[in-house]
Structure 1
Amino acid sequence: MTDPALSAVSAPLQSRPRPKRKTLMNVTDAIKSRKSVRAFRPDPVPKAVIEEILEVSMRAPSGTNTQPWHVYVCTGARKQAVTDAVLDQIRAGNAAKYHDVGYYPERWSDLHNSRRRNVGWGLYSLLGIEREDKERRTSQALRNFSFFDAPVGIFVTIEDYLAKGNWTDVGLYLQTLMLAARDHDLHTCPQAAWVPYQDAVLKTIGAPEGQSLVAGIALGYEDTTKIENSLVSEREKLENVVQYLGFEAE
């Protein structure tokens, strides 16, 4: 019997009646309006809307069409169970680090570290959290594990044996999903925070052996009254990342 609070999606969904919605958002608006939302309203997201987002997202590109993603959509008690499992692990003193699972490097370059710090302190500044206030910084970080109160939590996994190119494919899928959500006035927050605790996550969602967690995603309606949602991270100037080659011949 299928648990309605936990769905595993690894193949295109069958055609279903489409939920009513507003005029489609154009791609540019979806890209520019997408941001990491860290406070959601409790309003439930209709399952039909979630299914449409997931079905559209299956059009994400992947090398040789391998489609190497598996998706677990959690709501209600099953979502809370994942939260509880991870918090129990943290309380037991079993907190892990990103480099322990090979997700992020142990040491960052000065450039990348400055970008990380800028967005982190930008968030804490909005929330009135001082740098030396470790307790409040920790409390804010732990909000990741409630999906920032979003009604829907999504986990995306990949088979262990796959390599860098396949992880790139899953990244393309994640971006496609987040942009598709904007078409329904929904917001998201992609979350690496779950990855160091993936053993607890994978066990709780019932993922089979041989899968690794790529990311979690909070999905829901933005709480526009919360100041943390006014944060829009800066982007590097185009000339600092792009090189035009051969245009002088035109």
Structure 2
Amino acid sequence: MKEDKAPMTARDAIEGRVAVRRFMPGPVPLDVVRDILRTASHAPSGANLQPWRVYVVAGATKAALCAQVETAHRHHAEAHAEEYPYYPDAGLEPYASRKRQFGQVFYGALGIQPDDVQGRARQTARNFRFFDAPVGMVFTIDRRLAQGSWLDYGMFLQNVMLAARACGLDTCPQVSIARFHKVLRCCLAIPDDELVLCGMSLGYADTSAPELAIRQSRLPVDAFASFQGFDAAAA
């Protein structure tokens, strides 16, 4: 008799979450997507402002959107730019070294060499198809809101990814697609008073993807946290 699998704990969901960049073609039911977003909406926000706005696409609508974004990326990339800076200056340490290490591990798992410019470009371009996931999401925020609401939004995005894990689904948060906010606005009727933050792929992970065999390193707790006021007995 087959034993029931133990339910996923919060720790399982957090530590098991990875950015999946290869998905199975099977559809995700609308009610499942709705339930993920309903759960995610329990994220805290200052004074309950709930600053999130989500545009969800699938099927023919997603295909048409991706075609438009891919065309812009292929032929008019120089005419598009993000609405806000995401990464720090290229040489800022220790972040520049961490970014290089990420690239070495990730592209190495895909067999893409450091000098393979075209190979890296092909992988980057897959962002604009939502990595072939059955569902794509675009997240926006009222551009009048302050930094506190951006902090709240990060907790909402994390909730989306963890709620997806609890449903047996995986995600990939994507800032790259936000560069083409002009195209997204046109296709999804996003008003000008909303700033495009990022996108996210949602679907069932293709577990044969070679990059899933690796895990990016995490700093030990003592490298980023200090502890004060704990006596020796409590420690």
For residues 214 and 24 of structure 1, the distance between their equivalents in structure 2, rounded to whole angstroms, comes to: 32
Moved over 6 A (4+): none
Task: Kindly state the Cα deviation for residue 23 of structure 1 after the two structures are TM-superposed.
Answer: 6.3
Q: Is the CA contact (8 Å cut-off) linking 1:186 and 1:219 kept in structure 2?
A: yes
What corresponds to 2:136 in structure 1?
153
- Describe how 1:179-218 pairs up with structure 2 within 5 A: 179-218=162-201
Q: Is the CA contact (8 Å cut-off) linking 1:39 and 1:149 kept in structure 2?
A: yes
Of 85, 96, 109, the residue aligned with 1:126 is 109
Paired residue type of 1:40: F
What corresponds to 1:39 in structure 2?
22
Paired residue type of 1:47: L
SS class of match (2:77): coil
Question: Alignment RMSD, CA only?
Answer: 1.7
Task: Kindly state the Cα deviation for residue 49 of structure 1 after the two structures are TM-superposed.
Answer: 1.0
For residues 244 and 176 of structure 1, the distance between their equivalents in structure 2, rounded to whole angstroms, comes to: 27
For residues 194 and 155 of structure 2, the distance between their equivalents in structure 1, rounded to whole angstroms, comes to: 18
Task: Kindly state the Cα deviation for residue 178 of structure 1 after the two structures are TM-superposed.
Answer: 0.4
For residues 222 and 81 of structure 2, the distance between their equivalents in structure 1, rounded to whole angstroms, comes to: 34
- 1:105 matches 2:85: no
Task: Kindly state the Cα deviation for residue 114 of structure 1 after the two structures are TM-superposed.
Answer: 1.2
Write out per-residue CA displacement over residues 204-241 of structure 1, whole angstroms, 9 at most, x where no aligned residue: 11112200111111000010111122232111111110
What corresponds to 1:69 in structure 2?
52
TM-score normalised to structure 2 length? 0.91
Of 127, 148, 151, the residue aligned with 1:168 is 151
SS class of match (1:234): coil
Q: Is the CA contact (8 Å cut-off) linking 1:155 and 1:217 kept in structure 2?
A: yes
Q: Is the CA contact (8 Å cut-off) linking 1:39 and 1:229 kept in structure 2?
A: no
Write out per-residue CA displacement over residues 160-211 of structure 1, whole angstroms, 9 at most, x where no aligned residue: 1111111111111000010000111100000011121112112211112200
SS class of match (1:110): coil
For residues 35 and 75 of structure 1, the distance between their equivalents in structure 2, rounded to whole angstroms, comes to: 22
Q: Is the CA contact (8 Å cut-off) linking 1:41 and 1:220 kept in structure 2?
A: yes
Task: Kindly state the Cα deviation for residue 64 of structure 1 after the two structures are TM-superposed.
Answer: 0.9
For residues 148 and 131 of structure 2, the distance between their equivalents in structure 1, rounded to whole angstroms, comes to: 30
Task: Kindly state the Cα deviation for residue 94 of structure 1 after the two structures are TM-superposed.
Answer: 2.7
- Describe how 1:228-243 pairs up with structure 2 within 5 A: 228-243=211-226
Q: Is the CA contact (8 Å cut-off) linking 1:39 and 1:148 kept in structure 2?
A: yes
Q: Is the CA contact (8 Å cut-off) linking 1:39 and 1:228 kept in structure 2?
A: no
Listed as ranges, the gaps of 5+ residues in structure 2 are none
Task: Kindly state the Cα deviation for residue 104 of structure 1 after the two structures are TM-superposed.
Answer: 2.7
What corresponds to 2:32 in structure 1?
49
Relative to structure 1, is the Cα distance of residues 169 and 108 closer, same or farther in structure 2, using a 3 angstrom cutoff?
A: farther
Paired residue type of 1:213: V
SS class of match (1:105): coil
Q: Is the CA contact (8 Å cut-off) linking 2:69 and 2:183 kept in structure 1?
A: yes
For residues 144 and 91 of structure 1, the distance between their equivalents in structure 2, rounded to whole angstroms, comes to: 13
Task: Kindly state the Cα deviation for residue 157 of structure 1 after the two structures are TM-superposed.
Answer: 0.5
Aligned residues: 228
What corresponds to 1:9 in structure 2?
none
SS class of match (1:247): coil
Q: Is the CA contact (8 Å cut-off) linking 2:135 and 2:201 kept in structure 1?
A: yes
- 1:222 matches 2:205: yes
For residues 108 and 66 of structure 1, the distance between their equivalents in structure 2, rounded to whole angstroms, comes to: 36
